Amino acid sequence: MSDVNLPPGTLVWVGPTDHPEFVDAFHFCQQNAAQIAVRRDVAELIARPAGYVKQIIVARQDRSPASVEFMELIAGYPDADILGLTAAVCDGEARTGAPWAGLRQIRFCRWAAEIPDRLRRCGFVTPPVRPIRSILFLADRFEIAEPYLDYASSTRIAITWQRLIASPASREFDLVIWDDSIATPTSAGQWSERIVIRDPRVAAKHRWLRVQPQAVEIRSALVGGINDVVSKPCSIADAIA
């Protein structure tokens, strides 16, 4: 029997809920999990166990090493999937720090690509998505767009590359991808101006590809009209999904 046919399990969020790099992910979990338990840290979860746990998210805001309690956590919840969500301060930890053994970890800005699917075990139903058939890819060099154009040749998706922001698109697209080679971080107001220039009717979905974006950059982009931000490096499939 698959997880989706079982009663929804409990999501346990371990760590801060109001940290600026985690707040969007936490709010999504809070709104979409059938039941959620919040614990300040792993030690509190050990002291105050939750029942029928199917997903645990550990939000790590610093490079503190894994505790003895974390190993107890893994042993105590054998049926739970455990995901680590790391703040920017943890970047490069695998090379210079002490990453937590046994914990699959993602950078905070990648939560939207990972957490929704994992929450299916906790009652989240993925909403229907309009298929993407046409993409406008904005980048300052053809070499950046070329892999996407090659990828599209083996699919039914039509991708058009352009390098100029200051001119409207020649037609409507399902998705506009803004690569950070041409769309550098800016204010919400500037993002809004960029989007209206390219897409006067704001008919398309807009996505920003950015190398390890910071929380303040993501917030400005989303407030300015970007629908989602994908952290580079990423697969082409993730970038155009």
Same domain for 139 and 218, yes or no, is yes
pLDDT at 95: 65
For tokens 């919040």, what's the residue? Answer: 38
The confidence band for 113, taking pLDDT boundaries of 50, 70 and 90, is confident
Domain presence at residue 30: yes
Cα-based angle 230, 236, 238 (whole degrees, multiple of 5): 45
The confidence band for 165, taking pLDDT boundaries of 50, 70 and 90, is low
The confidence band for 168, taking pLDDT boundaries of 50, 70 and 90, is low
What does the DSSP 8-state code read for residue 66? P
Q: Model pTM greater than 0.75?
A: yes
Within 119-158, residue ranges assigned H as helices are: 142-152
144/171: higher pLDDT = 144
Q: Which of 122, 148, 178 is the last residue of a domain?
A: 122
pLDDT at 170: 57
**35 backbone dihedrals φ, ψ, rounded to 5°:** -150, 140
Rounded distance between C-alpha atoms, residue 215 and residue 21, angstroms: 5
The pLDDT tens digits for 198-232 are 877 778 899 999 999 999 999 999 999 999 999 99
Contacts of 87 (CB under 8 A, 6+ apart): 19, 21, 22, 59, 60, 61, 62, 108
Whether 210 and 232 have beta carbons less than 8 Å apart is answered as yes
pLDDT at 99: 66
Query: What amino acid occupies position 228?
Result: D
Contacts of 115 (CB under 8 A, 6+ apart): 25, 28, 29, 57, 83
Domain presence at residue 127: no
**Can you state the angle between helices 215-223 and 188-198, rounded to 10 degrees?**
50
Peptide bond into 233 cis (omega under 30): yes
Q: Which of 78, 97, 122 is the last residue of a domain?
A: 122
**Number of domain units in the chain:** 2
pLDDT at 96: 59
The pLDDT tens digits for 41-86 are 999 999 999 999 999 999 999 988 887 788 888 888 999 999 999 9
Cα–chain center distance at 121: 18
Residue 214: give its domain's CATH number: 3.40.50.2300
- Give the DSSP H or E segment for 70: helix 68-76
Domain presence at residue 129: no
Domain limits at 233? 134-240
The pLDDT tens digits for 86-112 are 999 988 776 655 667 778 899 999 998
Domain presence at residue 179: yes
The confidence band for 25, taking pLDDT boundaries of 50, 70 and 90, is very high
Handedness of CA 80, 51, 48, 37 (dihedral sign): positive
Pairing of strands 158-162, 134-138: parallel
Within 97-186, residue ranges assigned H as helices are: 111-118, 142-152
Residue 32, helix vs strand vs coil: helix
- Helix, strand, coil shares of the chain, percent, nearest 5, are 35, 25, 40
Same domain for 167 and 83, yes or no, is no
Q: Which of 75, 96, 122 is the last residue of a domain?
A: 122
Query: What amino acid occupies position 241?
Result: A
Same domain for 51 and 154, yes or no, is no
